[in-house]
Structure 1
Amino acid sequence: VSIVSTALCYSDLYCLFKVVEKDFFPIVLGHEAAGIVESVGPGVTEFQPGDKVIPLYLPQCGECRFCESPKTNQIGSKEMALANSRLTCNGHKLRQFMDISTFSEYTVTHQMSVAKVDPDAPLDKVCLLGCGVPTGYGAAVNTAKVEPGSTCAVFGLGAVGLAAVMGCKAAGAKMIIAVDINPDKFEKAREFGATDFVNPKDYDEPISQVLMEMTGGGVDYSLECVGDVELKPFLDVFLCVVFFFFFFFF
């Protein structure tokens, strides 16, 4: 696959700066991309040169019980689990990230690890469908199962956060509060469906208190899209306060 466009995901940075196992490197990172099929190997029946495709972060065989289940997309086939990398540099084998490695001009992967897209699809846009968009949108629609008429708070307005806002809107949420320390992102969030905006730097009190005052007791759904492990304990406390309030007063 000739890689035309690839995005930078925080997962790539995490692996680059946080993973310290020596066996992890050398590796070609990247997993959020779009490209064009350059050539196919023996047995490939679903693709042909010239097809526009998105490399898949998780492969899809379409046949195992996990692929057929609406609850998961974690492939159960062992065929891809131990796939050998086809990437080399100066005669040395390089590890592939999630079996796709898109930070390169070309990548070689199994046909289960690519999805064909419309020939007219703009590859510099649909590359985000490889990770960021389905992560945020799916968190709202599939994981949280946001309900019509509910109130939601989305922390962080990067690609994942904006997709989460879009998912909340699609699910019918009546109030979607976008929380970010960069107010320049608020107008774009409004385009995606956010109704209210909070910059934590504008308040002296905890944001949990601000949200409780804005919503009359707390939001129904809170989605953390910052990727900061220090934020999760705060959300856990915030949700406990919300549950306590509703349990004792309703």
Structure 2
Amino acid sequence: MGTKTGLMLDMTSRFTCKGKPIYNLMGTSTFTEYTVVADIAVAKINPQAPLESCLIGCGFATGYGAAVNTAKVTPGSTCAVFGLGGVGFSAIAGCKAAGASRIIGVGTHKEKFPKAIEMGATECLNPKDFDKPIYEVICEKTNGGVDFAIECAGRIETMMNALQSTYCGSGVVTVVLGLSSPNEHLTLNPLLLLTGRSLKGSIFGGFKGDEVSKLVDDYMKKKINVNFLVSTKLTLDQINKAFELLTSGQGVRSIMVY
């Protein structure tokens, strides 16, 4: 409940400014030099870890883990990843690491297609290039649909396209990662599930807080790579520029240097 209201789990705020409470985002508030968080939101990592390790704490772990932990992508399978931002690229990396033979990236920013291919996507599709729903295009290209779909855009329409892009059969999984508006609701025909599909949610890619330390260690040992997520490094006084890049869909991730 606290993450929805901008409060701690005990429904209080630990910060004020001029007598007014300051609310947090998702229980962290990481734009502060000092903060107060629940113990489940803290992980002790190697003090020698480079700055880029900060990207493991959400974007990378969420996308990568959605593929390997939540969806449990299988070797030789087909996948579709909707949304080509930091989480989407990480999901593509997870699908590739799990051995998927075909990975379709779906996004509206074509300038990101080369990066998606570099991460492991075998092809990319722009929904704006077609006069039919993108799920129909994917189903036509994959003889009925993909084995796994991962939604990283946070739009109800995209979630439905992801679900409908999977084929009718048991073991077919759609994982929803995107954060939609709290006022929006997903409405679907039960037949989509009765035909064997399954719909799952995933938070932090199914990783536990104490597993972050191992992910950081793996990054430092070059077992995993997160450098692909870094578009630019900005100082705190440039934070508005970072938000502009985020909302415009340009780049992948900006690292704020204090």
User: TM-score scaled to structure 2, two decimals?
Assistant: 0.57
Q: Is the 8 A contact 1:87 1:96 kept in 2?
A: no
Q: Is the 8 A contact 2:138 2:165 kept in 1?
A: no
Query: Residues of 2 paired with 1:92 and 1:216: CA distance?
Result: 57
Aligned counterparts, 1:66-145, within 5 A: 81-82=9-10, 85-109=13-37, 112-123=40-51, 125-145=52-72
Query: Residues of 2 paired with 1:112 and 1:235: CA distance?
Result: 31
Identical amino acids, percent of aligned pairs: 52
Q: Is the 8 A contact 2:13 2:22 kept in 1?
A: yes
Aligned to 2:168: 243
Q: Secondary structure at the match of 2:10?
A: coil
Aligned to 1:147: 74
Q: Per-residue displacement from partner, 1:179-229 (whole Å, max 9, x unpaired)?
A: 111111111112211111112222223322321232222211111111101
Q: Per-residue displacement from partner, 1:18-42 (whole Å, max 9, x unpaired)?
A: x8xxxx4xx69xxxxxxxxxxxxxx
Inter-CA distance 92–210: structure 2 relative to 1 (3 Å threshold): closer
Aligned to 1:196: 123
Q: Is the 8 A contact 2:149 2:165 kept in 1?
A: no
Which runs of 5 or more structure 1 residues have no equivalent in the other structure?
Answer: 1-14, 29-79
Q: Is the 8 A contact 2:134 2:161 kept in 1?
A: no
The CA RMSD measured in Å over matched residues stands at 2.8
Q: Per-residue displacement from partner, 1:51-91 (whole Å, max 9, x unpaired)?
A: xxxxxxxxxxxxxxxxxxxxxxxxxxxxx842854322234
Aligned to 1:177: 104
Which runs of 5 or more structure 2 residues have no equivalent in the other structure?
Answer: 173-194, 196-258
Q: Secondary structure at the match of 2:156?
A: coil
Q: Does 2:153 match 1:226?
A: yes
Q: Is the 8 A contact 2:75 2:98 kept in 1?
A: yes
Structure showing greater radius of gyration is: 1
Runs of at least 4 residues off by over 6 Å: none
Q: Secondary structure at the match of 1:116?
A: coil
